[in-house]
Amino acid sequence: MTPNSGYQTLFHRHEKNPILTADDWPYPAHTVFNPGATRLPDGTTLLLCRVEDRRGHSHLCAARSANGVDGWVIDEEPTLKPEPAKYPEELWGIEDPRITFVEELGKHVIAYTAFSEEGPGVALALTEDFRSFQRCGLVMQPDDKDAALLPTRIDGNFALVHRPMHDSGTHVWISFSPDLQNWGGHKLMLPARKGGWWDANKVGLSPPLIATPEGWLMIYHGVRHTAAGAIYRLGLALFALDKPQVCLARGDSWVFGPETSYERHGDVGNVTFPCGYTVGADGDTIHLYYGAADTCIALATGSVREVLGWLARSEEVCSSTD
Ligand code: BMA
């Protein structure tokens, strides 16, 4: 266990972690991780979990709980399966869903990674009830992943945060669309830093952006490549509400990373990877649901107010990435 001494703890692990594992599944599953999350109108927490089978392919499965911690009711069969006959980009599975409820559509929009021999790309699907789905197909061609839609239009357009991969670096971008199908106006949102930083070379959106009075709060992952492999940790940044490509603040240090044995050890050790959150009835408590070591699902809670306070005290300005 890495000591945390001296650093403020912004996200607190739940004592029941991991809250979901493959052993909980009603059908054969190798691992369950990286869940999208939402709160349904009746207060139920719904996790859309990535389930990997023993072929190595993933599909998505819904788990519902009244308190978001235990008593999970898991769909008896996969909820959203790859459909490679119709969507060849899903040949090797669908992964890492991020859920955004869009009031004007009255629907949840799920952004997920569609994986095939062409590489990972971003696909969208719409649902009202997480039982039937309307697919939009691939909206960002490979290699691209880590995408989530904003809940409201920006200057009349939908906005999608995503993470294309380029030789020059792997950064977070934002793109705009009038209809969820045709995308343009691409803007660099959050570049990876360089050199010795914890988030050098590769960053990506983790859960969907969180609307706060001070701006869009982004929890992002930074990938540190070491001689022993990669370490996936989380950092924070804030963006202007009316112009989400404009970064207002960026934390200089990571705020959450692998420490416990279920985060350190698993199929891919040293990974903490949230794809979803819910906000408590107090409007302040973030329940962050994350995949641990690409093997199981865990929960950590934090306070929006505390997170914004930490960011305000952080000395790093967004433009300084060297
Ligand atoms: C990323 C994604 C995640 C995964 C992580 C660690 O690139 O593919 O699904 O959790 O790697 O393996």
Q: Determine the Cα–Cα distance for residues 301 and 14; give it in Å rounded to an integer.
A: 7
291 lines ligand 1 (CB under 6 A): yes
d(CA 178, CA 274): 28
Let me know if residue 7 belongs to a domain: no
CATH of the domain at 85: 2.115.10.20
Alpha helices in the chain (DSSP H): 261-264, 304-313
Of ligand 1's atoms, which has the minimum distance to the CA of residue 268?
A: 12
- Measured CA to CA, the distance from residue 258 to residue 123 in angstroms comes to 29
Flag whether 156 is in a domain: yes
**Is 80 a residue whose pLDDT tops 50?**
yes
Confidence at residue 15, expressed as pLDDT on a 0 to 100 scale: 98
Residue 41 Cα to ligand 1 midpoint, Å, equals 30
For the stretch 189-218, pLDDT in tens is 999 999 999 999 999 999 999 999 999 999
Domains in the chain, number: 1
Give the max Cα distance, the chain: 54
In angstroms, the Cα distances linking 252 to 213, 224, 311, 316 are 22, 14, 9, 5
pTM: 0.96
Over 90: is that where the pLDDT of 168 sits? no
Please indicate whether residue 218, judged by its CB atom, sits closer than 6 Å to ligand 1.
no
Q: What is the mean pLDDT of residues 45-57?
A: 98
Q: How much distance in Å is there from the Cα of 212 to the middle of ligand 1? A: 27
Asked if residue 177 is part of any domain, the answer here is yes
Residue 321 included in any domain: no
Residue 167 clears pLDDT 90, i.e. is over it: no
Pocket test for ligand 1, best of 170, 206, 268, 273 (most atoms within 8 A of CB): 273
Residue 26 falls inside a structural domain: yes
Query: Atom 2 (ligand 1): residue with closest C-alpha?
Result: 96
> What is the residue range of 53's domain?
15-312
* Tens digits of residue pLDDT in 118-136: 999 999 999 999 999 999 9
Residue 157 resides in a domain: yes
Q: How many other C-beta atoms can be found within 10 angstroms of the C-beta atom of residue 42?
A: 7
pLDDT of residue 215: 97
Residue 107 placed within a domain: yes
